[in-house]
Homo-oligomer: A and B are copies of this chain.
Amino acid sequence: MTEFDLIDIIRARCAATRADVRLGIGDDAAVLVPPPGHDLVVSTDTLIAGVHFPMTTGIRDLGWKSLAVNLSDLAAMGATPAWALLALTLPAADRSFVEEFSDGFAELAAQYSVALVGGDTTQGPLTVTVVVHGFVAANSALRRDGARVGDGVYVTGALGDAAAGLGCLDANAVRMSECSYTPEVRAHLIARLMRPTPRVAAGMALRGRASACIDVSDGLLADLGHIAACSGVGIEVDAATLPASSALLALFDGDERIALQASGGDDYELAFTMPSTHAENMQGDIARIGCGATRIGRVVAEPGVRLIDASGAQIVLRQPGWQHFA
């Protein structure tokens, strides 16, 4: 097995045909044809073994997730996905690893007609960097800096599942192992962690409607904090309105559930702000897409992000969100 054998395996599984790919994997660079009148949207995320995923992660799941977290960034911009690159660093030239990884990557890529057009394969500690490219009509990308006082705050899907799923996997999480959860509940939570669904269709439905948007990767409050800071506003979140899956509801309540929903990372839902004039149509469209969207708060003038209980008092969490190097 050489580097070139590995590239052949990846190419055979992931290099989908697209009319806008003039030259894909196999030259010094890919040659691509951007659609006229559109902006190019580009993002990259790195996943490192033992940092961003447990060492026990299924290889096929890792292939899926490495693309999913990147497509989630495109979703947060409202972009239509098109092309990806994969920089894969492996401890050894392991054919079955590369096959399984590529299968998981390709499974998600096929859902959005994403073509893998290039990358690099190197030897070293297991690290996956994916780059994704997508498009929006000129000047229509969703940004973090457009939230205005009076806008509603919304989130797609449900929050806290991925953090609960991580607890299910953690052998040291005594409290979780004492939980009386069913195999179905456990499987749901772990799948939400391992195979997140990037909210690509929801992001596209928010174009021209949302005033600001971000994906929930570090935790809801931390990520809303970026919208608040970039927009020069504050955000109040009503804890009681945070959406939860039936799996999360079955296992957690009270402050424990709120903490998972408000500060658990890795859910890859979209959090966004929107003037109320657009809310009704948006709610209908996102419901039809399947994930739904819930109003969870409002944009206010006072800077910062505050989690509020039913009496209007602020709830202070110990760990507001994930941070590297913290």
Which residues of A come within 8 Å of B, CB atoms? Answer: 1-3, 6, 22-23, 26-34, 36, 39-46, 48, 50-52, 73-74, 76-77, 79, 83, 85, 87, 89, 92-93, 117-125, 127, 129, 131, 133-134, 136, 138-139, 141, 143-145, 213-215, 230, 323-326
Contacts and interface: CB of A to CB of B under 8 A. Distances in A.
Contacts of A46: 87, 89, 120, 122, 129
Given A43-B28, A79-B29, A141 B74 contact: no
Given A51-B124, A87-B87, A214 B43 contact: no
A38 to B, nearest CB: 8
Q: How many copies does the complex hold?
A: 2
A72 to B, nearest CB: 8
A74 to B, nearest CB: 6
A118 B44 contact: yes
Given A28-B213, A124-B127, 14 more contacts: A2-B324, A3-B323, A3-B325, A26-B144, A26-B230, A27-B144, A27-B230, A29-B43, A30-B43, A31-B41, A46-B89, A51-B124, A93-B324, A120-B129
Contacts of A143: 23, 27, 31
Contacts of A121: 324
22 contacts: A3-B325, A26-B230, A27-B77, A27-B144, A28-B76, A28-B77, A28-B215, A29-B79, A29-B134, A31-B136, A31-B141, A32-B42, A40-B40, A44-B87, A44-B118, A46-B122, A46-B129, A48-B124, A92-B325, A125-B125, A125-B127, A127-B127
A159 to B, nearest CB: 18
Given A127-B124, A127-B127, A143-B27, A32 B43 contact: no
B28 A214 contact: yes
A89 B45 CA distance: 11
A199 to B, nearest CB: 12
Contact of A87 (B125, B129, B230): B129
Interface centre among A1, A93, A124, A139 (most CB of B within 10 A): A124
